[in-house]
Amino acid sequence: MSRSIKKGPFVDAHLVKKVEAAVGG
């Protein structure tokens, strides 16, 4: 996970989408 965070905002956007899909359903 740490390596992904190192990639920067690009991964952040991807994670946000995943979280939104999980939370928003």
One pLDDT digit (tens) per residue for the chain, 25 residues: 556 556 667 777 778 888 888 887 6
Q: Under 8 Å CB-to-CB from 5, ≥6 apart: which residues?
A: 11
Domains held by the chain: number: 1
Whether 15 and 8 have beta carbons less than 8 Å apart is answered as: no
The predicted structure's pLDDT at residue 2:
57
Which has the closest alpha carbon to 13: 25, 21, 24, 2? 21
**CA–CA distance, 21 with 18 (Å, rounded to integer):** 5
The predicted structure's pLDDT at residue 23:
83
Range of the domain at 9: 1-25
